[in-house]
Structure formats: C-alpha cells, structure tokens
Structure 1
Amino acid sequence: MILPFEPYNPTWKDQFNTIKRELDKLLLPIKASVDHIGSTSVEGLSAKPIIDIIVGLEDENDLDKVPALLANRQYVYYEKYNIDMPYRRFFVLLREKPDKLGLPTCIGTFDKIPDRLNDHALRIAHIHVIPKNSENWVRHIAFRDYLRTHPNVKDEYQALKEGLIKHEWQDGNDYNEGKDAFLQVEEKRAIEWYLAQK
C-alpha cells in the first residue's frame, strides 16, 4: 500500500476548524478540549492529508461516554485498540457515514479491521481521545509545539518521512513504526522543553 503524502496545505487548518466546531457541539455533555496535532498541524511539514485531532478530557471517567456522543455520524470507533491503549479512545472520521460505505460503525475487540478501512482516501481525520492529565496528552501537544518552534527538527522529520513514504506499507501502523526511533528521541526532548516553558 502506498500512502498518500502531500506538501503542507493551508486548508488543513480550515478542515481542523470545521471538525473542531462539530466536536465541540457533540461533546458538550462532557468537559473536553479539541486540539490539532500531528504533521498537518505544523506549517511547512508534508503529511498524509488526514487531520490528526486530540480531544483532551478533564475527567478520565468520560472516556467511555465519547463513543455514544459520536455515534450515528461519520465516525468509526476502533474499540479494538482499547486493549493495547486503555487510556485512549480512537475514531476515524470518514467522508461519508460508514453504513453508506458498507462499513461498520465500530470495530469490536475481536473484529478484523475491514481492508477497505485502510483506504486513506475515505478518511478525513483521526480522533484521539485522551485524559488531559495524562503523559500521552502532554506528549502530543509538546511534540507539535516543538516542531513549530524548532525548524531544524522539523526539517529532519520531513526528510525521514520523505524516505519512508517511498516504501510500500501494509497499513498506516507499519509506516508509523518506521518513525519510532526518531520519535522516541525527539518526543522526549520535546516534553522536557515543553515542561520547562510552564
């Protein structure tokens, strides 16, 4: 599978703002903040044209309220991932409602992920729901802000991604594993830098 990879596009910020407005309304019953993360949130950085969004929850007990609040819309809930990442709830926002595409609205714990869901052309955004007081929320926000303020690191990350995208990957998870060594080092530096700003 060849993943789509595009130069930075200013419309990604507009796409995020549109999705944020919807999420702010849908998540009104709980205390949540919606932020743009990932490569599409860093001006000048190439990326897969899928908007990464982090929803920070004030109360960890609200994690399992989110699937019902996003139900019957264009979101697919990956309940399957809760086993490996119990601190997170993950959703993919599709271009149409899943049932119109012949896809499930939820990938259960023991379900196989349909091959069609690996078609990145169907995806608009990835939604990561995480408690705000967790190290994982800090990691995502810190790395985004670090890339925005450290052009040399951004350029190094860009070069890595350009090399990786030339390979054929089974899915997006394999591609992400190719970035792991770089991310482990730079995310640690980003967190130290971010916490020092506080």
Structure 2
Amino acid sequence: MKGPEENRTHYLKITESNSDFWTEHILFRDYLINNLQYREEYQKLKENLFDEHAGNREPYTKGKEEFVRKILKLAGFKGKIL
C-alpha cells in the first residue's frame, strides 16, 4: 500500500488462482450473486458498518467477518476460512 493509511481509498488483494484465498472470494461472490436475501443483508451490514466506522477500515472489515464465514459455510467451502 502506498501513502499514509488515513488517505487510502482502495484495497488491492493479489492471489494465485485456485488457492483457498481465491476460492473463498469466488464462492462468496457467486453465492451473493445467486441469493438476493443475503446480498441485501450484506449491503445493509456494510452500510451500517460504514456509518459506525467511517474512515476506519479495520473495524469495518472485522465487522464483516462473521457474515463472510456464514456465507462461505452456506456456499460449501471446505477449506480453512482465512
């Protein structure tokens, strides 16, 4: 990452295709694409977390962890959730 943390606007992740990290993200994305209820729930969660933690990415990201784990289990992810 470049520049001071308080000025960062983007977060880039790089991974190898077919790694557990890659598989998690693809499963999560595809599950939300195909399940409107969870997609809307995730959107509301993100909006609420943004309102609570605007400008502080760490608690915003941590606040999504439980939801992400739930979706990965529902999507059938068998690996270790990172």
TM tier relative to shorter chain: 0.7 to 0.9
Report percent identity of matched pairs. Answer: 30
SS of the aligned residue for 2:51 comes to: coil
Unaligned runs of 5+ in 2: 78-82
In structure 2, the partner of 1:127 is 12
Match of 1:177 among 55, 62, 81: 62
Q: Deviations over 1:32-68 (max 9, x none)?
A: xxxxxxxxxxxxxxxxxxxxxxxxxxxxxxxxxxxxx
2:45 match: 160
Higher strand share: 1
TM-score by length of 1: 0.35
1:139 aligns with 2:27: no
SS at match of 1:167: helix
CA distance 1:159–1:170, shift in 2 (3 Å): closer
Please provide the CA RMSD for this pair: 2.2
Q: 1:147 to 1:174 in 2, by over 3 A?
A: same
Q: CA deviation at 1:126?
A: 2.5
Greater share of residues in helix: 2
Aligned-partner SS, 1:129: coil
**Is 2:35 the counterpart of 1:150?**
yes
Q: Taking CA–CA contacts closer than 8 Å with sequence separation of 6 or more, which of the two structures ends up with the larger relative contact order? A: 2
AA partner of residue 7 (structure 2)? D
| 1:65-80 aligned within 5 A | 76=1
Matched residue type, 1:119? N
Residues 153-189 of structure 1, C-alpha deviations (whole Å, 9 max, x = no match): 1011112122222213572121111111111111222
- What does residue range 48-127 of structure 1 map to in structure 2 within 5 Å? 76=1, 103=3, 116-120=4-8, 123=9, 125-127=10-12
Maintained 8 Å contact 2:49/2:63: yes
Partner of 2:80: none
